Chains A and B, each alone.
Chain A
Amino acid sequence: MAETSPSATTPPKLPPLPIESVNDFPDRLSPMLVKELRQGLRTSTFVILFLVLQGLLAIVLLVTTPIATAEGSLSGTVGEVVSKIVFCIYALGILVVQPLRGISAVTTEIRQNTIDLMVLTRLSAWRIVYGKWLSIVGQSALIAFAILPYLILRYSFGGMQLFAELVLMAYLFFISGTLTAITVGLSATGSVLLRGLVVVGGSAVMMGYIFFGLHRQIPEFVEILSFTRSDQSLTALAILAIAVYASYFFLEVGTTAIAPTSENRATRKRLLGLTIMVGSYLLLHAVDPALALTSALIIAGCISLDLFSERAKFPSVICRRFLRMGPLGRASGRLLYPGWATGSLFFLTMSLVLFLLIFLTNPDPRNYTYAAIGLGTLAFPAALIQLFARDSSNRFSLYLTLLLLCFVLTAILSELYRVVPEKLLLWVFSFIPAVLLPIAGQSASSPDQSTVLLVSAIITGIYLLIILGGSLPRMAALSKLETEALEDLDAQDLAEVGPDH
């Protein structure tokens, strides 16, 4: 068949559509993960980080190998040094750079108005946030795997606990996942100040720790993670468990910020948080009561962060499921409906549960004191917001910033108290109950113990009264919302019964 030459009127031939290129990731992967990986693996941050890590590690090994070979018996010491360098570089990559990439993850979508487009698809808010987190963690995993050959090379230097060092690597990776979850979650909150604080403060603290603390602690960590001492191993596992919960919690923070208000995310979060708090306390109590109380208070802190900062408004459709359960559902709604108003009541319940746990397991007055101090410190920013910034549009950032300031002030005062043991200094600032910790930490026979318990209990009680008092008008609004939901339910029932009936 003779070929015909294209005429002048023939439209230019278009290149074929490279449609097969969209099969680079299988369908079973989350669309968010596919999108983020496609974008993330091409970003200069990841590419530069990956190449710089490889370059640095290659240089370190090239420099140390001849030394180790020449000095023979000293190769174990050289190996240890190499281990420290490898872990510091690795930690810098996955504990600082990678988590920081999450700080703009959701904000960028909100700012560019692309979050709306995603919300309109079948992607739930959770899948959006989770996908963003998973993508960064996936890229961190690539970095972790790229480090492995260097650890294997370092093995030839001798003096290496292979299993423990691999576990340490995994452990750091795990912590990196939690830090990434924190930044991804906070990226949805909309506070530039808070995100700036995380970027500047968080990375400074983490880098300081890596360069001045981690390298000294690596042998200790290796020992702990070789699981030879059960108490230390339990602490490590407890930290991991709290890290898992914290990861979930912060991803939920991001999810709640972008989820439709008709989606009730509060109930599950609260019940899950409370269950984990009780569970971790009971599990850890048998081994280490102090660790049990500390972990319970950390979890309570996470729950409070959410309780006191949820937006109070939600549509009546949320009440329907509760109202279908009758009076019990209606009553539980007062604790489990979204919003800081019901959150205040939940905080009171959570506090009572914690005191009950202490009463049942270890009714030492010092435990009550620690619990009162912890809960009072968590209630303090909420009371401040209730008094001075009730209508704030970003309660989350405000609460978190105030809480962080409390911790910073507590740390400063504790250091001052160590240098100049003047109790008056702490009593003056006792409106932040945490500053009383140095006095509470004194011997049980100290006459100040009962005073600290009394003062922290009174202060916590006052804060609770302020918070609950402020939430009363909202509680009244809930009744209106429930009436509306009941009307909707009646209309639905009528529609289901049909016009013939």
Chain B
Amino acid sequence: MSVAISVRNLFRYFGPLKAVDGISFDIPHGSVCGFVGANGAGKTTTMRMLATLDYPTMGSAEICGINVVNHPDKVRSLIGWMPDHFGNYEHMTVLEYLDFYARALGYTGDERRSRIEEVMAFADLVPLASRLSNKLSKGMTQRLCLGRALLHDPQVLIMDEPAAGLDPRARVELKHLIRILAEEGKTIFISSHILSELGEMCDSLLFINAGRIVHHGDAESLKRGSDTSGGVYYDVQVDGNPESVSDWAVLNTDVEIMETRKRGARIRIPSAESARAAEILSRMVREGVRVIEFHREQRNLEDAFIDILGKIEEGEPGLTPPPQPTTPAGSPPNDPVPPAEPPPPVV
């Protein structure tokens, strides 16, 4: 399968801050790739470089084989960009908003009108046509933004946190639209904090931490792959004080509390053997924890992500730092760039 997005040793430094620190990955055509990472991990910076809105300190990035630094105009015709936050215009209706971007993309006459009609129908914006674009709900705004990003029918969609701040219904609607786009063969590179949703939507997941890629693979292999190394999870429900599980775990270091719950806690046991779980359960009961339910839970993506971060902190081999840039291109790493002000839209 040919590659839609190719990144090689990409660095982006803002003064002393290493926002992106030598990442490399490929995303094949027609696939949906989730981009996961904590706040400040480098997701937005990477996506902005791919969208030709920022340019790398060093390294290369290509969209459908075209270099984002050398040929930004060609790349722009291939991508649709949804930023994590943006404002809408005052005194402008949804229809006028889309019309402006259709004109700005070079559409004229009937073609312009038909493109607008098409994206409005797809993103279910027809009922909102006469609404002012700055008076929309977050979900409607995201649909409008998606419609705008699709106006020129791009091959690759880069979506930065599109589901952030959406209510459950709007999230389902957005997920539905993304699924349709994926079925149409578009390559989608999407970042989100909601890992479970990404797992359902994405063919592969890319984990980034402190500017470095720490995992690239599909959701199932990620869950399966760490089943043995990451331990086993159990839901423990108790009668009475739910904190009794946490209190007990403080004294028993072979059990880790993952999450406190209304009626108990979610725990992790480092070994996958059933005998070990039985031994821990009996110890809990013996030591006064009034267990009424104890059952094994499926490992989720959040667990996998936390495991990976844990391994990095422990300095596990294979998760070593990337090579340091020696001949930075264009923007020397020691050049301070103000972090307070967003960088100008550069390629």
Residues of A bordering B, CB below 8 Å: 14-15, 17-19, 21-23, 27, 31-32, 34-35, 38-39, 42-43, 110-123, 190, 257-258, 260-262, 313-317, 391, 393, 477, 480-481, 484, 488
B341 engages A117 (CB within 8 Å): no
Q: CB-nearest residue of chain B relative to A122?
A: B106
CB neighbours (8 Å) of B103 from chain A are 27, 31, 34
A260 contacts B104, CB within 8 Å?
no
Q: Are A39 and B92 closer than 8 Å at their CB atoms?
A: yes
Task: Fill in one digit per residue for B17-52: 1 if any A CB lies within 8 Å of its CB, else 0.
Answer: 000000000000000000000000000000000011
Counting CB contacts under 8 A, is B316 at the interface?
Answer: no
Hey, which chain A residues are within 8 Å of B127, CB to CB? 14-15
Closest 4 CB pairs of A and B: A112-B87, A31-B103, A121-B104, A42-B91
* B335 within 8 A of partner (CB): yes
Answer whether residue B307 sits at the interface, using C-beta atoms and an 8 A cutoff: no
Q: With contacts A27-B103, A42-B91, A119-B53 known, is A112 near B86, CB below 8 A?
A: yes
Q: Which residue of B lies closest to A311 (CB)?
A: B344
Chain B, residues 78-93, CB within 8 Å of chain A (1/0): the string is 0101010111111110
- Please state if A22 and B341 are interface contacts (CB–CB under 8 Å): no
Query: How distant is B112 from chain A, measured CB to nearest CB, in Å?
Result: 7
One of B55, B91, B148, B346 near A117 (C-beta < 8 A): B148
Residues of chain A contacted by B106 (CB below 8 angstroms): 121-122
CB distance from A61 to the nearest CB of B (A): 32
Per-residue A-contact encoding for B187-225, CB less than 8 Å = 1, 0 else = 000000000000000000000000000000000000000
Q: A34-B99, A260-B347 are in contact. List 17 more A-B contacts (CB 8 A).
A: A14-B127, A15-B127, A21-B96, A22-B99, A27-B108, A31-B103, A32-B104, A35-B89, A35-B96, A115-B345, A119-B345, A260-B346, A261-B346, A315-B69, A317-B69, A393-B338, A477-B332
* A492 (CB) vs chain B CBs: closest residue: B70
Contact residues, B328-347 vs A (CB, 8 A): 329-332, 335-338, 341-342, 344-347
- Judge whether B336 and A391 touch: CB under 8 Å: yes
Q: List, sorted by A's number, 18 A–B pairs whose CB atoms are closer than 8 Å.
A: A15-B129, A22-B96, A22-B99, A23-B113, A27-B109, A31-B103, A34-B99, A43-B90, A114-B89, A116-B345, A117-B101, A120-B52, A262-B55, A313-B330, A317-B70, A393-B338, A393-B341, A488-B70
Q: Which residues of A contact B148 (CB under 8 A)?
A: 117
Could you tell me the distance in whole angstroms from the C-beta of A150 to the nearest C-beta in chain B? 29
- Among B96, B99, B148, B338, chain A packs the most CB atoms within 10 A around the CB of B99
Q: A27-B109, A122-B105, A258-B345 are in contact. Are A19 and B95 (CB under 8 A)?
A: yes
Q: Mark B94-132, 1 if CB is under 8 A from A, else 0.
A: 011001110111101100110011001000001101100
Q: Are A261 and B330 in contact (CB under 8 A)?
A: yes
Q: How far is the CA of A313 from the CA of B108 in the complex (A)?
A: 37
A contact residues around B104 at 8 Å (CB) = 31-32, 118, 121-123
Give every chain A residue within 8 A of B99 (Cβ-Cβ). Answer: 22, 34
Q: How far is the CA of A260 from the CA of B112 in the complex (A)?
A: 27
Q: Say if the beta carbon of B282 comes within 8 Å of chain A.
A: no
Partner among B55, B116, B332 whose Cβ is within 8 Å of the Cβ of A22 = B116
